[in-house]
């Protein structure tokens, strides 16, 4: 698994995640705090699985669909994704 050449920076990733979450919960980006649990915004656990598909497409990574269960805020998620990208070999399942 190669790191995409222009791997998005941490802040890019964070704002992208914020925008995705805002889209899914139908709120303004400004209303989404990156340290608050995603479930607070009504992104229920089962629906959070869908976020995985988006992130995979965006970062060209393969992740566990449950990634947002184990990293339940935007900050935690961004940190995890950064680490995964840095390792270059995601711990996710194989396609």
Partner 1 sequence: MKVTEPLIDTGQVDLAGFDRALGDPADPAALLSFARSAELDRGERFPADICRELDRMGLPSLYVPAEFGGALTRYDELVAALRAVARRDLTVAIGHGKTFLGGVCMWLAGRPEQARELGADIIAGAPVSWGLTERGHGSDLLAGETTATPEPGGGFRVHGEKWLINNATRGTLLCLLVRTRPEGGPRGFSLLLADKRRLPADRWRPLPKVPTHGIRGADISGIALDDCPFPADALIGEQGAGLEIALKALQLTRTACTALSLGAADQAVRLAEEFAARRELYGRRLVELPHVRRVLGEAYAALYAAEIVSVLAARSVHTLPEEMAVISAVAKSYVPTRVDELIAACGELLGARAFLTEVHEHGAFQKLERDHRVVGIFDGSTFVNQHVLINHFPVLARGHQKGTADEEAVGRTADLSAPPPPARLDRLSLLARGGCGFTQSLHTASGELRAPASAGEVPARVAELAEELTNSCDRLHRELALIPPASQDVQPEAFALASRYEQCFAGAAALRLWLHNRTPGEDPLWLEAVLTYVLRSVRPPGQPTDGEVFDRLFDARAAGRPASPPTSVVTW
Nearer to partner 1, 10 or 22 (CB): 22
Burial category of 43 from C-beta neighbours within 10 Å (exposed 0-12, middle 13-18, buried 19 and up): buried
Nearer to partner 1, 10 or 92 (CB): 92
Nearer to partner 1, 3 or 25 (CB): 25
Tokens 């990156």 appear where? Answer: 34
Interface with partner 1 (CB under 8 A): 23-26, 39, 42-50, 52-54, 56-57, 65-66, 69-70, 72, 93, 95
Element (H, E) at 18: helix 10-25
């Amino acid at each position: 698994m190669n790191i995409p050449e222009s791997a998005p920076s941490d802040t890019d990733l964070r704002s992208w995640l914020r925008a995705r979450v805002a889209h899914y919960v139908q709120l303004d980006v400004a209303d989404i705090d990156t340290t608050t649990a995603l479930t607070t915004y009504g992104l229920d656990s089962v629906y959070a699985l869908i976020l995985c598909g988006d992130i995979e497409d965006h970062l060209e990574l393969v992740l566990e669909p449950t990634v947002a269960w184990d990293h339940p805020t935007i900050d935690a998620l961004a940190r995890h994704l950064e680490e995964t990208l840095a390792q270059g070999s995601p711990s996710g399942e194989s396609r």
